[in-house]
A and B are shown apart, each in its own frame.
Chain A
Amino acid sequence: MKHKIVIAVTALNAIDSPGPGVAVIRAIRECKDFDVRIIGLSYESLEPGLYMHDLVDKTYQIPYPTAGTDALLGRLQYIHEMENLELIIPNFDAELFNFIKLRDTLKKMGIATFMPDLDQFEARDKMKLLDFGKKHGFDVPEDKIIHEFRELAKIEEDFDFPLVVKGKFYDAIIVNTMEQAEKAYYKILSKWGLPIIVQEFIKGTEINIAALGDGDGNAISVIPMRKLYITDKGKAWAGITLDDETYIELARKFIKVTKWRGGCELEVMLSNDGKPYIMEVNPRFPAWIYLTAAAGQNQPASLVKMALGQKVEPFTEYEVGKIFVRYAWDLITDIHEFQKISGNGEL
Chain B
Amino acid sequence: MAERDAMDEREWTNPTPEPGDRIEADGVTVTCEASGGAALVSGDLQAALAELAPGAPLLGLGAEEPDPPAALRLARDRALVISGAPLELRAGWHAGYAVSPADDLHVIVRLEGPRAEEVCRSGIATPLDGGSPCAAVLLAGRPVIATRHAGAIRLRIERPDAAWLWSLLGQLTR
- Co-assembled chains A and B: no
Q: Please give the residue numbers on chain B whose beta carbons come within 8 Å of chain A beta carbons, in ascending order.
A: none
Q: Please give the residue numbers on chain A whose beta carbons come within 8 Å of chain B beta carbons, in ascending order.
A: none
